[in-house]
Amino acid sequence: MIKDKALLTQDNKSHLGTQRDWFWRGWRIRYTYIRPARTAQDPLPLVFLHGFGSALGQWRANLMPLSQHHAIYALDFLGFGGSQKAPARYNTDLWANLTYDFFSSFIGQKAIIIGHSLGALVALTAASKYPEMTKGLVLLTLPEAKASQPPAFARAIERTFASAPLLWPLFQFVRQPAFLRLVLKKIIYVRPELVDEELVAMFAEPPRDRGALDVLSRLARSLRDPDYGSKTVREMLPELQVPLLVLWGKEDRVVPLSGFRQLIHLNPNLQLVELENAGHCAYDEYPEKTNQEILNWLANC
């Protein structure tokens, strides 16, 4: 079921398109849509999937520029952003199924799926499970399906969140804007001047939703679950029969590029672009460069 009237909330900003709610399996999912600015006979849809702990607002500098020639869709995964903080069993298959059902409900023609970090892993999983939905993938960093990559502090937080006695006081601390601003500036971004109030609010507001504490506990447990990802990246990459563009910040401290370089040979359709002086959120640190790389790749493939 779709809530037809756009929600005129404070975060319903013009550069993010028209945000609405869609109900999937009885749970509320926030999504946005932007009509292509220039008329085309059959505009190729682009579907954006955000990273862990983030939301569709992370694409603040990408959606409008890329909507000049393409229909744009972006959604908040269940448990994140403006979507419902549901008591679900969270894993990549759940979000891949959500992506496929969203595709079936709203798009219905092959699309390009663009994912960042967790969103990249979900995009790869969805393309592996449902090859009929995609003409190609754009992945901005690609973590493994298991929670094993650096930084070590993230693994420590996950273990702590899975411990009920320590959960509430730590949750109160890590959702504070001052703490989030520090993490974004010191670890996530190479260009700390881009960490503004809009960005901090995107991470700080969803943890105040009803059910957010329970979701964080479930996420922490699911990340340690052997079934968090049904297949590994090494297993899925060779299966893809569509063009694949991978964009990676060379200074990414969250998911370092070094591990992925060992997997490039697994798919001859894979093109890797390394972005200089960019961290984990290269799409936001260098949006013009990122957008142009995507447009060039779309034109060539």
Backbone angles phi, psi at 37, to 5 degrees: -70, -35
pLDDT tens per residue across span 116-147: 999 999 999 999 999 999 999 999 999 987 65
Select from 36, 50, 52 the least CA-distant residue to 254: 52
Q: What are phi and psi of 125, to 5 degrees?
A: -65, -45
Cα–Cα distance measured from residue 174 to residue 207, given in angstroms and rounded to the nearest whole number: 9
User: Measured between alpha carbons, how far is 192 from 160 in angstroms, rounded to an integer?
Assistant: 27
Which pTM value belongs to this model? 0.90
The mean pLDDT of 25-45, rounded to a whole number, is 88
Q: Is 49 helix (H, G, I), strand (E, B) or coil?
A: strand
Residue 9, pLDDT > 70, answer: no
- Predicted confidence (pLDDT) per residue in 167-218, tens digit: 777 778 888 999 999 999 999 999 999 999 999 999 999 999 999 988 988 8
Tell me what pLDDT residue 41 has.
66
Which residues, in sequence order, are bridge partners of residue 48?
74, 114
Give the pLDDT band (50/70/90) at residue 158: low
Q: Domain segments of the chain: what residues? A: 14-149+228-300
CATH topology of domain 14-149+228-300: Rossmann fold (3.40.50)
Is 65 exposed, middle or buried (CB count within 10 Å of its CB: 0-12, 13-18, 19+)?
A: middle
Q: Using 50, 70 and 90 to split pLDDT, how confident is the model at 163?
A: low
Per-residue model confidence (pLDDT) at position 56: 97
Q: Nearest Cα to 156, choosing from 142, 174, 144, 140?
A: 174
